[in-house]
């Protein structure tokens, strides 16, 4: 399965990672590499919880595109 992950750098320099296709699934790390490892673990844990509850696993289709705006 593939899920879109959005990474944001916070003011303290840490990295926030969220998974829009899995509401409530997010993680963070001190570096982008750490945030990637942590968010994969969060996704696996989230899916495990859904399976344990007998809930449907969301199949995410999200298209992401960077848009440049001259402001």
CATH architecture of 1-71: 2-Layer Sandwich (3.30)
Contact 60, 24 (CB under 8 A): no
Does 71 have pLDDT greater than 90?
no
Whole-structure pTM value = 0.83
Place of tokens 């990672």: 17
**Cα–Cα separations (whole angstroms), residue 28 to 11, 22, 60:** 13, 15, 21
C-alpha span between 29 and 64 (Å, rounded): 22
Q: Whole-angstrom Cα distance, residue 15 to residue 35?
A: 6
Predicted local distance difference test score (pLDDT) of residue 30: 98
pLDDT digits (tens, 9 = 90+) for 25-63: 999 999 999 999 999 999 999 999 999 999 999 887 667
Domain-wise residue ranges, the chain: 1-71
């Amino acid at each position: 399965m593939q899920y879109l992950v959005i990474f944001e750098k916070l003011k303290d320099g840490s990295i926030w990672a969220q998974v829009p296709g899995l509401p409530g699934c997010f993680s963070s790390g001190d570096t982008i590499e750490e945030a990637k490892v942590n968010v994969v673990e969060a996704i696996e844990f989230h899916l495990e919880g859904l399976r344990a509850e007998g809930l449907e696993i969301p199949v995410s289709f999200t298209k992401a595109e960077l848009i440049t705006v001259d402001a």
